[in-house]
Amino acid sequence: MVLPELVAHRGYRLHYPENTLIAVEAALRAGARYVEIDVQLSRDLVPVLFHDADLMRVCGVAGAVKDRGVDELRRLKASEYNRFGYRYARVHIATLAELTDLLTRHPDVTVFVELKIESLAQFGIPETLDRVRSALRGIEERAVLISYSLDALLSARRAGWPALGAVLERWKDRRDSRLRDIAPQYIFCDVEDLPAFGRLKGDGARLVVFEVGDAERALRLARRGVDFIETFAVGEMRRALDGRGSA
């Protein structure tokens, strides 16, 4: 039986606020060897872990990451109050440098670092790449830069970034001519945009599919050629897949 590798999508998001250090730490305790996080730049150009274009859903305040300095952002509660109430009221937005420090203690873990479009548009591709690469110093060889922006990935390839992953808006976008020059090691795609039947090919890249929380579906995708499954429930999925592998 072919078992796909699991990627902890924004950490162990099922039980912890997404893109926080405690979510990543929990994913590692659950056995994750691959973690995916989202990165944006603060107003003063510090890479922080954050997914949304605005702060409301996670922090309960208006505004955007790009409009606040890092000290101000770190004073906000990244607690996802609507999901968890006051349980994580002391959790703050983490910097990418803090994540790097955490992962230096876990040398067997690979991190997928998604560059968000908001920062690329606000600060430009070269500045964003430089700031992110600097924050990842020490773990660059196991940090895979991923993005929906093929232009950013093309710049990263020309700058000698070790590993890249292209996130596709649509499955058919893998025909984009820029992908030949990027030569990504990974292709990411939403599971809902995949064709319903047939073999799935990454055209030389390893195929990563998000968001999947059902083990049977993950196994069906693996049989069709998917290499990695991104999931918010990495612990539950790991136990379910390990059980099927043993059987």
Q: Is the pLDDT of residue 233 over 60?
A: yes
Average pLDDT over residues 181-197: 96
Confidence of residue 245 (pLDDT cuts 50, 70, 90): low
pLDDT of residue 244: 74
User: Among 15, 51, 92, 106, which one carries the catalytic annotation?
Assistant: 51
**19 closest CA partner among 75, 108, 86, 98:** 98
Pairing of strands 143-147, 47-49: unpaired
pLDDT digits (tens, 9 = 90+) for 220-232: 999 999 999 999 9
Domain boundaries, the chain: 5-246
- In angstroms, rounded to a whole number, what is the distance separating the alpha carbons of residues 224 and 242? 19
Q: Is the pLDDT of residue 2 over 90?
A: no
Q: Are 39 and 244 in contact (CB under 8 A)?
A: no
Q: Is the pLDDT of residue 89 over 80?
A: yes
Confidence of residue 247 (pLDDT cuts 50, 70, 90): low
**230 closest CA partner among 185, 199, 190, 201:** 190
Average pLDDT over residues 44-57: 98
Average pLDDT over residues 193-202: 93
**141 closest CA partner among 82, 185, 177:** 185
CB neighbours of residue 121 within 10 Å: 12
Higher-confidence residue of 153 and 1: namely: 153
Judge whether 15 counts as a catalytic residue: no
pLDDT digits (tens, 9 = 90+) for 139-152: 999 999 999 999 99
**CATH code for the part of the protein at 5-246:** 3.20.20.190
pTM: 0.97
Judge whether 9 counts as a catalytic residue: yes
Confidence of residue 1 (pLDDT cuts 50, 70, 90): confident
Confidence of residue 137 (pLDDT cuts 50, 70, 90): very high
Q: What percent of the chain has pLDDT over 70?
A: 99
Average pLDDT over residues 58-62: 98
Cα angle 170, 17, 186 (rounded to 5 degrees) comes to 30
Average pLDDT over residues 207-219: 97
Higher-confidence residue of 196 and 1: namely: 196
Q: Are 234 and 15 in contact (CB under 8 A)?
A: no
pLDDT of residue 246: 54
pLDDT digits (tens, 9 = 90+) for 115-134: 999 999 999 999 999 999 99
pLDDT of residue 167: 98
User: Among 9, 15, 92, 106, which one carries the catalytic annotation?
Assistant: 9
